[in-house]
A and B are shown apart, each in its own frame.
Chain A
Amino acid sequence: MEDKKSNKMAGKQSILFANPPVIIAGSSVVGKKEGEGPLASFFDQIEEDPMFGGTSWEDAESRLMKRAAELSIEKSGFRQEDIRYLVGGDLLGQLIATSFGIADLEIPIFGVYGACSTMGESMALGAILVDGGYADKVLAVTSSHFAGAEKQFRFPLAYGNQRPLATTWTVTGSGAVVIGSGDMGEETAGKNNKNGVVKIKGVTVGKIVDYGVKDSLNMGACMAPAAYTTISQNLKDLNVLPDYYDRIITGDLGYVGKDILIDLLKQDGYDISSNHMDCGIEIFDRNTQDTHSGGSGCGCSAVTFTGYIMQKLTRKEWKRVLFVPTGALHSTVSFNEGNPVPGIAHGIMVEAC
Chain B
Amino acid sequence: MQNTKEKVTASDVVIEKDKTAKGEKYNKYVKDMTPTHNIFKNILNAFLVGGIICTIGQGLINLYASWGAGEELSASYGTLSLVFLSVVLTGLNIYPKIAKFGGAGSLVPITGFANSVAAPAVEFKKEGQVFGIGCKIFTIAGPVILYGIFSSWVLGLIYYILLQLGVV
Q: In chain B, residues 4-40, which have Cβ atoms closer than 8 Å to a Cβ of chain A?
A: 10-11, 13-15, 19-20, 22-24, 26-27, 29-30, 33-37
Which A residues lie within 8 Å of B96 (CB)?
Answer: 157-161
Residues of A within 8 A of B33 (CB): 221, 256, 259-260, 263
Shortest distance in angstroms between B116's beta carbon and chain A's nearest beta carbon? 6
For residue B42, which residues in chain A have a CB less than 8 angstroms away from its CB? 162
* A160–B98 CB distance below 8 A: yes
Contacts A157-B123, A159-B140 known; 17 new A-B pairs at CB < 8 A: A55-B126, A155-B140, A157-B122, A158-B93, A160-B95, A160-B106, A160-B119, A161-B107, A165-B35, A165-B37, A210-B23, A211-B13, A213-B27, A221-B34, A260-B29, A264-B14, A267-B14
Q: Chain A: residues with CB nearer than 8 A to chain B?
A: 55-57, 151, 155-166, 210-215, 218, 221, 225, 256, 259-260, 263-264, 266-268, 340
The CA of A157 and the CA of B100, in the complex, are separated in Å by: 12
CB distance from A314 to the nearest CB of B (A): 36
A164-B36, A221-B34, A256-B34 are known contacts. Are A159 and B116 too (CB-CB below 8 A)?
yes
Q: Are B37 and A260 in contact (CB under 8 A)?
A: no
How big is chain B's contact interface, by range? Answer: 35 or more
Q: Please classify the interface of chain A as helix (H, G, I), strand (E, B), loop, or mixed, using the class held by over half of its residues.
A: loop
In the assembled complex, the Cα of A163 lies from the Cα of B14 at a distance in Å of: 30
> When A212-B22, A268-B14 are in contact, do A156 and B34 touch as well, CB less than 8 Å?
no
Chain B contacts to A: CB under 8 angstroms: 10-11, 13-15, 19-20, 22-24, 26-27, 29-30, 33-37, 42, 90-91, 93, 95-100, 103, 106-107, 112, 115-116, 118-120, 122-124, 126, 139-140
Q: Is A161's CB under 8 angstroms from B36's CB?
A: no
B26 near A212: Cβ-Cβ < 8 Å? yes
**B contact residues around A160 at 8 Å (CB):** 90, 95-100, 106-107, 112, 115, 119
Q: How far is the CB of B120 from chain A (nearest CB, A)?
A: 5
A260 to B11, CA, bound (A): 11
CB distance from B90 to the nearest CB of A (A): 5
Which B residues are in CB contact (< 8 Å) with A215? 30
Task: Report Cα–Cα, A266/B36, bound state, in Å.
Answer: 25
B34 to chain A, nearest CB (A): 5
Kindly list chain B residues whose C-beta atoms are within 8 Å of the C-beta of A268: 14
Asked if B140 contacts A56 (CB within 8 A), the reply is no
Q: Which residue of B lies closest to A263 (CB)?
A: B10
| A55-B126, A156-B122, A213-B30 known; A267+B98 contact, CB < 8 A | no
Contacts of A263 in B (CB 8 A): 10, 33
Please determine whether B37 and A164 come into contact, CB atoms closer than 8 angstroms.
yes
CA distance A155 to B30 in the complex (A): 24
Of B23, B98, B115, which contacts A159 at CB under 8 A? B115
